[in-house]
Amino acid sequence: MKIYNTLTREKSEFKPLQPGKVSMYVCGMTVYDYCHLGHGRVFVAFDVIVRYLQAKGYEVNYIRNITDIDDKIIRRAQEANEDWQQLVQRFTDAMDEDFAALGIGKPNLEPKATEHIDQIIAMVQTLIDKGMAYAADNGDVYYVVEKFAGYGQLSGKVLDELRSGARVEVDEAKQNPLDFVLWKAAKPGEPAWDSPWGKGRPGWHIECSAMSTCCLGNTFDIHGGGPDLKFPHHENEIAQSEAATGEKYANVWMHAGALRINDEKMSKSLGNFFTIRDVLADFPAEVVRYFLLASHYRSPINYSLESLKEAGASLERFYHSLRGLTLPQAPESEFSSRFYAAMDDDFNTPEALAVLFDMVREINRNKAAQPDQAAQIAAEMKALGDVLGLLQQDPEAFFQQQTSDVDPQQVENLIAQRNAARKQRDFAKADEIRDQLQAMSVVLEDSREGTKWRVEK
């Protein structure tokens, strides 16, 4: 299995530190607002990576943190006149709901920054003792960037270029404009914890270094996150972690691609984002998940209603092929070999989905003449779909998904009336009912087994 490593800028054979085990840390949410679809893109990607590693037989220790203290949290709580801890809990609950809806599994551990203050303080003190950090006159503690020889290795940034573009803000007490904060002195009315440097709270970067090493040890297999974290967050994590421990921090660095709106990055700062729950109000969760997996995890995705509709149409093809089949225990064939080969190549989900489409064609070709053969392929396809978190619904339930204005019982009643009219050869009445259902976006499919229906988005 080969994985693209952002640090080395190449794909290489994945060799975990311990055979059969994978230690993995992914930077999680700062919980001050609802998650947008760009977040969904990142965490669906890593959810599939975890699922696939487990399908390969690895025991995965997956850590995904929560940043529950931060300038944005404090500011949002002040604006809303809400206790910051209540705000954090409210948006943590919303995150859990959104992730569950998208089929994103829970990590093994979900550490919070405020639960690791002692470890954060200890790491900051270690950096001070090693001469890699200093306490400034204003109560902040800063990391000395120029003392870390490898700074810039992840992002490709060059210190001279960073230095020429940096500036010291008026109220900062940095010795060098490149230095970044490890511990922030508390302002009046802000949440704060005691430390050797006075009351304050951790800087953002040090939180992840302390939580990851606390949960996984000084060196672990995979560190992941969104595209915007490469610099400065992950660069700073490497610098402070390796300076503190004297050991390599993470062996493989993985970054998901950005979600774009009209070719601009989706972000709260640009105001061009859709929350996960906004999108799920208009599209079924599995359609959204499919849309996010139809591109390689490292590639940018351009958000559009057309793309989501195409994702829905693709899923319809899969579920159509599963209709009316009783599935045996899933066998493995050359389809499974091709699927695993695609995923072994840096988790290539578009190629893996192409294998599933080939299976759909085989199912449909065999359905009438060799139904047992079709059922075997369908069972294998469903098992492979599970690795991606797809195709696990009952086909009829999938087709009967509705926005909110289609009542399944009303549809069934109208179908019963139509069937009765057809029996009485009242075809005008039957056609009238079909037109009524079409006006409700309900599509009927008549067969010898009866009439099935689906909502056409």
177 preceded by cis ω (within 30°)? Answer: no
3-state helix, strand, coil split of the chain in percent (to 5) is 50, 15, 35
Q: Where does 91-172 show beta strands of DSSP type E?
A: 133-135, 141-143
Is 214 annotated in some ligand binding site? no
Is 221 strand, coil or helix? strand
Q: At what angle do helices 349-366 and 334-344 cross, to 10 degrees?
A: 170
Residue matched to tokens 């606390």 = 214
* Pairing state between β 450-455 and 250-255: unpaired
Q: At what angle do helices 408-423 and 427-439 cross, to 10 degrees?
A: 160
Q: Where does 55-167 show beta strands of DSSP type E?
A: 59-64, 133-135, 141-143
Of the candidates 9, 10, 25, the residue with the CA atom closest to the CA atom of residue 250: 25
Is 457 strand, coil or helix? coil
> Going by C-beta distance under 8 Å and a sequence separation of 6 or more, which residues neighbour residue 44?
102, 103, 104, 289, 292, 293, 389
Is 237 annotated in some ligand binding site? yes
Q: In what order do the strands lie in the sheet with 21-26?
A: 59-64, 21-26, 220-225, 250-255
Phi, psi of 137 (to 5 degrees): -65, -25
Are 66 and 43 within 8 A, CB to CB?
Answer: no
Is 255 annotated in some ligand binding site? no
Residue 445: DSSP 8-state: E
Give, in degrees to the nearest 5, the angle at Cα 47 between 41 and 51: 145
Tally helices (H) and strands (E) across the chain.
16, 15
Residue matched to tokens 């809400």 = 82
Of the candidates 263, 320, 327, 317, the residue with the CA atom closest to the CA atom of residue 290: 317
Are 84 and 77 within 8 A, CB to CB?
Answer: yes
User: CA-based Rg of the chain, rounded to a whole angstrom?
Assistant: 26
Residue ranges of the annotated binding site for ATP are 268
List, as residue ranges, the binding site.
27, 208, 233, 237, 268
Annotated binding site for Zn(2+): 27, 208, 233, 237
